[in-house]
Structure 1
Amino acid sequence: MELALQTGLTLLIVFPILLLIGIPIAVTIGISSVLAILPALPWENAVFTAAQRIFTGINSFSLLAIPFFILAGIIMNNGGIAIKLVNFANLLAGKLPGSLAHTNVIGNMLFGSISGSGTAAAAAMGGIMTPLQEEAGYDKDFSAAVNVASAPTGLLIPPSNSLIIYSLVSGGTSVTALFMAGYIPGILWGLGVMIVAFFIAKKKAYKTTKEKITFSQALKVVLDAIPSLSLIVIIIGGITGGIFTATEGAAIAVVYSLLLSMFLYKSIKLKDLPRILLEAVNMTAMIVFLIGASSIMSWILAFTNVPTYITNLILGLSDNPIVILLIMNILLLVVGTFMDATPAILIFTPIFLPIAQSLGMDSIQFGIMLVFNLCIGTITPPVGNTLFVGCRVAKTKVEGVIKSILPFYIAIFIVLMLVTFIPQLSLFIPKLMGLV
């Protein structure tokens, strides 16, 4: 227990100091982890073990899905798919007050789920919807707030890289079950944002869509969107039907989105491929390095029994499961405000999963709760990448958007509490499909 305390204190002191002086997070994780293990291992053994854990951490077939999904997302972001989904979302939004805001939310849910990136969704949808909403008289901060608040839904609605990473770290929780478990929470998040947007739009008398859409126009919009929407059906249907694995599905997503963008929409040319591939390689390298470095920390935490120490500490605060789950949510929300989702999943899954399981929570439900919390962090300062991208696209200041986004935070937090305390919201679909 003394070694666990010493390791934990070293990480708590060294980790934030390195971050504050501007060291990249992957390097910070690696350095702080090696320093934390020195009391237990000689320097040579500590460095050798760290190198070994990096290799072991990234030597996984399941991880191949991540670069493929990243590449597919970048292709979609450049391939004219977003505008097709916006038109389809606008058709669904109908004549609701603030219909353009609802179009933005639905568009984010669709594009985010296809691309697997909240930041990409915020950039793509914001770039299309902000000028339209501004032209219709919408407040710019409100438009940006709606876009930012709904963008992370794609990290819950499958396919999701975050859920793939959680599956790996949690010891092999079914990726298919996690994918199915993300649907209801992700949709509830989007509906929560739409409800808030509805009342704000009604109060401010934002106009609905003026144009009347004829049946032939509606049919054209649907037909235009079907090739893009089919990607969801092909990938998720293939994975859940056992036709291919998540990794193979990711590769199919790349091929499908590339064919769609190059030959049907003709928005990507052959000369664009080197730039797209380079962007995918840079992003993949960053994530894989994070996974490797975090594997060092995960091993050290397990070796020194830090998760057991923290579990006993938290369980010692209260024997009430509701209080313990609230404490875990608060800690994860705080972590999400200054740490990206990937390293946070890698570091905190081994710590909090045993606590959740000791309370009788299924690892699938915990994974959804964990990712949900960290998704909120992507739209929360000071390190909310999606928040800053949404503000930059809307050409507005963060301060104004934060004020407008507060009611959306409340709705999202309510959904988080529902996901935390109602297991069926996460487990209903997996159980229905026989995955649990």
Structure 2
Amino acid sequence: MGLVVLLVSLIIFFLLNVPIAFALIISTALYFLFNDDFSSMVIIQRMVGGLESVPLLAIIFFITAGILMNYTGITSRMLRFAEVITRPLPGALAQVNVVLSTLMGGLSGSNIADAAMQAKVLVPEMEKKGYDKGFATALTAATSLITPIIPPGIALIMYGYIGNVSIGKLFMAGVVPGIALCIMMMIYVHIYAKKHKLEVGDKKKVTWKEFFLTGKDAILALLLPVIIIGGIRLGFFSATEAGAIAVLYALILGLLIYREMSIKQMIGALVETVHTSASILIIIAAGSAFAWVLSLEQVPQRMTEFMTGFISSPMLFFIIVMIFLLLIGMFIEGNVALVILTPLFMPMLFEYGIDPVHFGIFFIVCLSIGTLTPPLGTIMFVTCSITGTKIEEFIKHSIPFLILLIIAALIIAFIPAISLFLPNLLF
């Protein structure tokens, strides 16, 4: 009875557009009201217990580092460097959009932050070059989906913490798929620019001096992911400690080297960090209590028995899961789905012999695709609201990117070596 009340109330709260954290908390509280075996205090204990974890500090640290980076002048330096290395290509400014998302993914860790920044900076410039605003907005939204799987993506940390999977291995696993996604996007942009004759004429040549000067400005920022991955691999620090190193590195760049961040800006960045972190942590706390109830009612075990009873092939399992995640992503925010679904999927992976690191990259890519789709696609709404693009225009131009991303997700699923090559090599 209690489980039925929990699930029905949760669906009702979703339909009423209640904030997801509160929907989870209230529906879980209703479960305890209809269950005499437990005190209502258990929900508080489960929520607090879900946050009492050192690995969760990594989320706060990397969010802090990403926000601080926005005040250090790194974005403008990265933009100049990306412009130089993509200048010879057709559709150079659109190529900058793709490359910058990949480079900034290793700094911000947040696809929403990346999408918002590039929507403000690049979309107006692309319009001046003759690009359709709908295409520019859809491109910005689609390329931001590279960010969650490029270390130190916040989604990688959340999945690793909830699923008890090595965060260091997940960081390694995201590198090759992230670069592959970047290349696929660049190829599509190349074809699109050629077809629509956008930035295909003679261009100013890139000199070695120009390349060196812009590279010199960007190299300190580009070193951050290398420091994080190298430090974790060599055992100098854990993923959580790497987050603290990233914050220190951002402060050194902003206050001592680039000197473009004032004390007032630093305080503003820390306040922004508190707001962003709180919104994520309350979802994790609510999700922890919700997941505890599901485990108590043996929902993951029942779902595993059901899936294995009907699906014998791991490949078919990936396809079914992808369809399910694409549908879920249309209605539930990615981080929320990650918190709720990870405990459900973990027992299934062991039944099918699927590496949880490999599945994690596939899982995060599929959930990220949902952020581009109506009715609740967060990245879709963020980019459209900033650029003033109509949702209908966005949807029309996003279809090729959605097809590209789905193909990429299937390739990641069917070729485990893409995700596991670096973790197996380095661990």
- So what's the TM-score if we normalise by structure 2? 0.95
SS of 1:338's equivalent in the other structure is coil
Q: Does 1:211 align with 2:204?
A: yes
Q: Which residue of 1 aligns with 2:282?
A: 289
Counterparts of 2:183 and 2:264 in 1: how far apart (Å)?
40
Shift of the 13–140 alpha-carbon distance from structure 1 to 2, 3 Å rule, reads same
Q: Which residue of 2 aligns with 1:201?
A: 193
Match of 2:304 among 311, 327, 339: 311
SS of 2:70's equivalent in the other structure is helix
Give the letter for the 2:191 counterpart: F
Match of 1:373 among 359, 366, 377: 366
Q: Does 1:187 align with 2:179?
A: yes
SS of 2:198's equivalent in the other structure is coil
Instruction: Report the alpha carbon displacement of residue 94 of structure 1 after superposing the two structures with TM.
Output: 3.6
Counterparts of 2:378 and 2:69 in 1: how far apart (Å)?
20
Q: Which residue of 1 aligns with 2:333?
A: 340
Please show how residues 47-126 of structure 1 align to structure 2 within 5 Å.
Answer: 47-126=40-119
Counterparts of 2:315 and 2:3 in 1: how far apart (Å)?
26
Q: Which residue of 2 aligns with 1:26?
A: 21
Shift of the 181–252 alpha-carbon distance from structure 1 to 2, 3 Å rule, reads same
Counterparts of 2:303 and 2:28 in 1: how far apart (Å)?
17
SS of 1:405's equivalent in the other structure is helix
Q: Which residue of 1 aligns with 2:126?
A: 133
Please show how residues 235-246 of structure 1 align to structure 2 within 5 Å.
Answer: 235-246=228-239
Conserved 8 A contact 1:82-1:125: no
Give the letter for the 2:53 counterpart: S
Counterparts of 1:79 and 1:41 in 2: how far apart (Å)?
55
Instruction: Report the alpha carbon displacement of residue 35 of structure 1 after superposing the two structures with TM.
Output: 2.3
- So what's the TM-score if we normalise by structure 1? 0.93
Instruction: Report the alpha carbon displacement of residue 238 of structure 1 after superposing the two structures with TM.
Output: 1.2
What percent identity do the matched residue pairs reach? 38
Give the letter for the 2:21 counterpart: A
Q: Does 1:406 align with 2:379?
A: no
Conserved 8 A contact 2:58-2:243: yes
Which 4+ residue blocks in structure 1 deviate beyond 6 angstroms?
none
Please show how residues 226-305 of structure 1 align to structure 2 within 5 Å.
Answer: 226-305=219-298
Q: Does 1:10 align with 2:2?
A: no
Instruction: Report the alpha carbon displacement of residue 9 of structure 1 after superposing the two structures with TM.
Output: 3.6
SS of 1:78's equivalent in the other structure is coil
Structure 2 stretches lacking a partner, 5+ long: none
Conserved 8 A contact 2:3-2:297: no
Give the letter for the 1:176 counterpart: G
Conserved 8 A contact 2:165-2:356: yes
Q: Which residue of 2 aligns with 1:3?
A: none
Instruction: Report the alpha carbon displacement of residue 289 of structure 1 after superposing the two structures with TM.
Output: 1.1
Instruction: Report the alpha carbon displacement of residue 65 of structure 1 after superposing the two structures with TM.
Output: 0.9
Conserved 8 A contact 2:71-2:265: no
Counterparts of 2:260 and 2:333 in 1: how far apart (Å)?
31
Counterparts of 2:13 and 2:382 in 1: how far apart (Å)?
25
Moved more, 293-302 or 378-387: 378-387
Counterparts of 2:381 and 2:257 in 1: how far apart (Å)?
33
Shift of the 46–379 alpha-carbon distance from structure 1 to 2, 3 Å rule, reads farther
Instruction: Report the alpha carbon displacement of residue 84 of structure 1 after superposing the two structures with TM.
Output: 1.1
SS of 2:364's equivalent in the other structure is helix
Conserved 8 A contact 1:122-1:148: yes
Conserved 8 A contact 1:333-1:377: yes
* Residues 51-74 of structure 1, C-alpha deviations (whole Å, 9 max, x = no match): 111111100011111111111111
Counterparts of 1:363 and 1:73 in 2: how far apart (Å)?
27
SS of 2:40's equivalent in the other structure is helix
Counterparts of 2:72 and 2:333 in 1: how far apart (Å)?
27
Conserved 8 A contact 1:162-1:371: yes
Q: Which residue of 2 aligns with 1:174?
A: 166
Conserved 8 A contact 1:37-1:300: no
Structure 1 stretches lacking a partner, 5+ long: 1-5
Counterparts of 1:374 and 1:207 in 2: how far apart (Å)?
33
Give the letter for the 2:280 counterpart: I
Give the letter for the 2:190 counterpart: F
Conserved 8 A contact 1:121-1:151: yes
Q: Does 1:386 align with 2:414?
A: no
Match of 1:364 among 343, 357, 360: 357
Counterparts of 2:48 and 2:227 in 1: how far apart (Å)?
33
Conserved 8 A contact 1:126-1:147: yes
Conserved 8 A contact 1:26-1:290: yes
Counterparts of 1:181 and 1:46 in 2: how far apart (Å)?
42
Q: Count residues in correspondence.
A: 426
Please show how residues 122-161 of structure 1 align to structure 2 within 5 Å.
Answer: 122-161=115-154
Instruction: Report the alpha carbon displacement of residue 177 of structure 1 after superposing the two structures with TM.
Output: 0.5
* Residues 81-110 of structure 1, C-alpha deviations (whole Å, 9 max, x = no match): 112112222222242211111111010111
